[in-house]
Chain A
Amino acid sequence: MTVIAKETLIGKRVPKLDAPPKVSGEARYLQDIELPGMLFGKILRTDRVHARILNIDVSAAKALPGVHAVITAADTPNVPLGIGRDNPPLKGDKVRCIRDEIAAVAAETEEIAEEALRLIKIEYEDLPAVFDPAESLKEGAPVIHDKHPDNIPFTFEYSHGDISEGEKESDVILEEKVKLHYVTHCCMGVSGIIANFDSEGNLVVYSQTQIPFMYKKDISPVIGVPPEKIHVIQPVIGGAFGSKLDIYPFEPICIFLARVSRRPVKMVFTREEELVASPTRQPVELTIRGGAKKDGTLTFREVHTVHDNGGYTSWGATTPFVIMQTVSSLYRVPHCLYKTTVVYTNNPYSGSFRGYGNLQATYAVETHMDKLAEALGIDPLEFRLRNAQEEGETTPQGMRFHTCGFRDCLTTAAEKSGFREKHPAYKSGQEGPVKRGVGIASLLHVGGGAKIYRTDGCGTMLKVDDFGKVTVMTGSTDIGQGSETVIAQFVAEELGLPIGSISVINNDSEITPWDVGVHASRTTFIAGKSAQLAARKARMKLLKVASEKFDLAPGQLDLRGGQVVRAEDGEALMDLGKLIRSLHFSTKNDIVMTSEYYEPPSMMQDKEFKGDVSATYAFGTQVVELEVDTETGVVRILRVTAAHDVGRVINQMGIEGQVEGGIVMGIGYATTENLVVENGKVMNPSFRDYKLITAPEVPEIDMTFIETMDKEGPAGAKGIGEAPAICISAAIANALYNATGVRFYELPLTPEKVLRRLREAGGNGA
Chain B
Amino acid sequence: MHDIKRYLVPDSLDEAVRAAAEGDVTFLAGGTDLMPQTRTGARSFSSTLINLKQVPELRGVSRENGGIRLGALTTVTDVLNDVVLRKAAPVLSQAADHFASDQVRNSATIGGNICNASPAGDMIIPLLLLGAVVELASWNGEAVGTRTMPLEEFFTGPGKTQREPGEILTAIRFPVPGEGFTARFVKFGTRPALDISVVSVGIAGVKENGTLRRVRAAFGAVAPVPVRGRNTEAALEGKLLTSDTIRQASEATQEDISPISDVRASAWYRRELVRTLTTRILNDVSTS
**Which residues of A are in contact with B by a Cβ distance under 8 Å?**
111, 115, 272, 631-633, 672, 676, 683-684, 686, 688-689, 691, 693-697, 750-752, 755-756
Whether A691 touches B191, Cβ cut-off 8 Å, given contacts A752-B265, A752-B266, A756-B269, is yes
Interface centre among B40, B190, B277 (most CB of A within 10 A): B190
Whether A696 touches B276, Cβ cut-off 8 Å, given contacts A683-B263, A755-B269, is no
On chain A, the residues within 8 Å of B263 by CB distance are 676, 683-684, 689
B217 CB to nearest A CB, Å: 19
Contact pattern, B 248-288, Cβ under 8 Å of A = 1, otherwise 0: 00000000000000011110110011001100000000000
User: CA A335 – CA B136 in complex, angstroms?
Assistant: 76
On chain B, the residues within 8 Å of A686 by CB distance are 36, 40
User: CA A755 – CA B276 in complex, angstroms?
Assistant: 12
A632 contacts B273, C-beta separation under 8 Å: yes
Does residue B45 face the partner (Cβ distance < 8 Å to A)?
no
B191 contacts A672, C-beta separation under 8 Å: yes
Interface centre among B191, B194, B269, B273 (most CB of A within 10 A): B191
- Chain B's closest residue to A687 (CB) is B194
Whether A697 touches B276, Cβ cut-off 8 Å, given contacts A689-B263, A755-B269, is no
On chain A, the residues within 8 Å of B190 by CB distance are 672, 691, 750-752
On chain A, the residues within 8 Å of B192 by CB distance are 694, 696-697
On chain B, the residues within 8 Å of A691 by CB distance are 190-191, 195
A694 contacts B269, C-beta separation under 8 Å: no
On chain A, the residues within 8 Å of B195 by CB distance are 691
Contact pattern, B 192-221, Cβ under 8 Å of A = 1, otherwise 0: 111110000000000000000000000000
B110 CB to nearest A CB, Å: 21
B273 contacts A697, C-beta separation under 8 Å: no
- Chain B's closest residue to A631 (CB) is B276
A760 CB to nearest B CB, Å: 12
B288 CB to nearest A CB, Å: 18
Whether A632 touches B188, Cβ cut-off 8 Å, given contacts A115-B2, A689-B264, is yes
A629 CB to nearest B CB, Å: 9
Give the residue of B193, B266, B277 whose beta carbon is less than 8 angstroms from that of A697.
Answer: B193
**Which residues of B are in contact with A by a Cβ distance under 8 Å?**
2, 36, 40, 188, 190-196, 263-266, 268-269, 272-273, 276-277
Inter-chain pairs besides A672-B190, A688-B196, 18 sampled, C-beta below 8 Å: A115-B2, A272-B40, A631-B276, A632-B273, A633-B269, A672-B191, A676-B263, A686-B36, A689-B263, A691-B190, A694-B192, A694-B194, A697-B191, A750-B190, A751-B190, A752-B190, A755-B269, A756-B269
On chain A, the residues within 8 Å of B188 by CB distance are 632
- Chain A's closest residue to B196 (CB) is A688
B2 contacts A111, C-beta separation under 8 Å: yes
A755 contacts B272, C-beta separation under 8 Å: yes
On chain A, the residues within 8 Å of B276 by CB distance are 631-632
On chain B, the residues within 8 Å of A688 by CB distance are 36, 196
Task: List 18 A-B residue pairs with CB atoms under 8 Å apart, sorted by A's residue number.
Answer: A115-B2, A272-B40, A631-B276, A632-B272, A632-B276, A672-B191, A683-B263, A689-B196, A689-B264, A693-B191, A694-B191, A697-B191, A751-B190, A752-B190, A752-B265, A752-B266, A755-B269, A756-B268
On chain A, the residues within 8 Å of B273 by CB distance are 632
B196 CB to nearest A CB, Å: 6
On chain B, the residues within 8 Å of A631 by CB distance are 276
Whether A694 touches B196, Cβ cut-off 8 Å, given contacts A115-B2, A752-B265, A756-B269, is no
User: CA A481 – CA B15 in complex, angstroms?
Assistant: 56
Interface centre among A272, A693, A696, A751 (most CB of B within 10 A): A751
On chain B, the residues within 8 Å of A111 by CB distance are 2
A694 contacts B265, C-beta separation under 8 Å: no
B193 contacts A694, C-beta separation under 8 Å: yes
User: CA A755 – CA B271 in complex, angstroms?
Assistant: 12
User: CA A688 – CA B190 in complex, angstroms?
Assistant: 11
On chain B, the residues within 8 Å of A115 by CB distance are 2
On chain A, the residues within 8 Å of B193 by CB distance are 694-697
- Chain B's closest residue to A752 (CB) is B269
- Chain B's closest residue to A633 (CB) is B269
On chain B, the residues within 8 Å of A684 by CB distance are 263
- Chain A's closest residue to B276 (CB) is A631
User: CA A752 – CA B40 in complex, angstroms?
Assistant: 27
User: CA A150 – CA B230 in complex, angstroms?
Assistant: 58
User: CA A573 – CA B190 in complex, angstroms?
Assistant: 65
B268 CB to nearest A CB, Å: 8
User: CA A697 – CA B189 in complex, angstroms?
Assistant: 13
